[in-house]
Amino acid sequence: MNFNFEQVHNYYERLVFEEVVQRAAQHPEFTNDMLADVCCVALNRLPARYVRHDVDMMFYLTEQERQAIELSLEEVLSFAFRFVGERSAKTAV
């Protein structure tokens, strides 16, 4: 039997990646490696929500759940940028 699991992914990955790309301009001192670290830190602070299709996830969410996701993203991304920035500053000294 042949299985194909390529569509399975963590729902938050795309959201985090897109937000990091958007916020990168606000952090010109961040290297590509640092931005990848920001993604890792943020994703590790979010629950894993695996889906096959993002639209399926959005269809089943209530408005309150969507708002909670947006708030969670804001919190973890703010933390991740601060965390990576502080760690980088400490290693540069």
Average pLDDT, the chain: 93
**What confidence tens digit (pLDDT) does each residue in 72-87 have?**
999 999 999 999 999 9
- Cα 55–56–60 angle (5° rounding)? 110
Local confidence band at 35 (pLDDT 50, 70, 90 cut-offs)? very high
Local confidence band at 93 (pLDDT 50, 70, 90 cut-offs)? low
**CA distance linking residue 16 with residue 33, whole number of Å:** 15
Angle, helices 63-92 vs 11-23, to 10°: value is 50
